Amino acid sequence: MTILDGKKISNDIKAEIKAEVDEMKANGEKVPHLAAIIVGNDGASMTYVNTKVKACEKVGFESTLVRMSSTTSEVELMDKIEKLNKEDSIDGFIVQLPLPPQIDTQKVLLAVDPDKDVDGFHPTNFGKMSLDMTSFIPATPFGILELLERYNIPTKGKHTVVIGRSHIVGRPMSILMGRSGFPGNSTVTLTHEYTKNITQITSQADIVIIAVGIPDFLKAEMIKDDAVVIDVGITRVPDESTKKGYVLKGDVDFENASKKASYITPVPGGVGPMTIAMLLKNTLLAREQRRERK
């Protein structure tokens, strides 16, 4: 069994990005600039967005954090998005999810300029991705592709089972694994909460990608010998014995499934760090595309 070391690979990617930024600087070019809007002060969301700002610093990007109160109206948020769309110094920006209930997330994501949509959540980018056109690929699915590629894990003709149909992970992942090329060329099954006899399906999977947010959902008994297991879950479970007061739990019963799997991602240190690295990658691509356009 090989552990897919997302922490290490993400550091490799960050070093590659930093080298490109250093070259941009040496050539007197503008460096990539990422902005993030966070609405409210949810603990996990603040952690995520701070991780992103720190990652920008590490690779030499400029970053701007826009903090808005939890009582922000949809109109106020839309105004801010319009400003970032127009602001020439910003190459890409994200709206940290989830948003408070008074705000319509779909409407907000539609307002982001697709050329600055480094999260790849705008329908234009989702459509382009589905049609094999150049687009921003959502950071988590992009990170999973990158892990499969860098560990040279065969995907052609394999049966990939994706568990969970979220717009951010499961749905795009199911599309990407079925595209032509590597990683891709998989036969894909997308399962969700109404799927009957899920064990019968997962037992036939060469690759299982799970993103449901339910700790220990995938048991060793549900996978076949030598399956590749990608765990996207990152649930905070209260734990008084730790400094933070919680531990991160994946969707996979790692202790037992790891004995059966050929490759498996840990939590933490698997897919999570890859998400951050690929957000940076998308921001670098956004800068390069904007540079070419003018």
Q: Which of 24, 53, 78, 97 binds ligand BQF (CB under 6 A)?
A: 97
Distances (CA, A) of 289 to 127, 163, 228, 269, 284: 19, 34, 35, 31, 9
**Closer residue to ligand BQF in complex, CB, 234/264:** 234
DSSP letter at 97?
S
Tell me which stretch binds ligand BQF (CB under 6 A): 62-70, 110-118, 188-196, 266-274. Answer: 266-274
Least distance from ligand BQF to the Cβ atom of residue 51, Å: 4
The residue count for binding ligand BQF (CB under 6 A) is 11
Tell me which stretch binds ligand BQF (CB under 6 A): 107-115, 173-181, 188-196, 272-280. Answer: 272-280
The answer to the question of residue 48 lying near ligand BQF (CB under 6 A) is yes
Looking at the DSSP bridge assignments, the partners of residue 39 are: 68
Least distance from ligand BQF to the Cβ atom of residue 182, Å: 25
Q: Which of 108, 184, 272, 280 binds ligand BQF (CB under 6 A)?
A: 272
Cα 19-263-1 angle, rounded to 5 deg: 115
**DSSP for 198-226?**
HHHHHTT-SEEEE-S--TT-B-GGGS-TT
Residue nearest to ligand BQF according to CB distances in the complex: 272
The answer to the question of residue 275 lying near ligand BQF (CB under 6 A) is yes
In the region spanning residues 204 to 233, those forming contacts with ligand BQF, defined by CB under 6 A, are none
Q: Which of 85, 235, 268, 290 binds ligand BQF (CB under 6 A)?
A: 268
> Do the beta carbons of residue 232 and residue 271 sit within 8 Å?
yes
Task: Find all residues with CB under 8 Å of 65, minimum gap 6, and list them.
Answer: 35, 36, 38, 49, 53
Amino acid code (one letter) for 286: A
In the region spanning residues 233 to 252, those forming contacts with ligand BQF, defined by CB under 6 A, are 234
The answer to the question of residue 141 lying near ligand BQF (CB under 6 A) is no
List, by residue number, the catalytic residues.
Answer: 52, 96, 119
Q: Which of 17, 190, 276, 280 binds ligand BQF (CB under 6 A)?
A: 276
Distance CA 14, CA 245 (A): 29
User: What b/e sequence results for 98-111 when a residue is b if at least 16 CB atoms lie within 10 Å of its CB, and e otherwise?
Assistant: ebbeebeeeebbeb
Tell me which stretch binds ligand BQF (CB under 6 A): 110-118, 175-183, 201-209, 273-281. Answer: 273-281
The answer to the question of residue 153 lying near ligand BQF (CB under 6 A) is no
Residue 48 CB: number of other CB atoms within 10 A?
18
**Closer residue to ligand BQF in complex, CB, 186/282:** 282
Distance CA 211, CA 198 (A): 14
Distances (CA, A) of 173 to 2, 5, 206: 22, 20, 15
Binding site for ligand BQF (CB under 6 A): 48, 51, 97, 234, 267-269, 272-273, 275-276
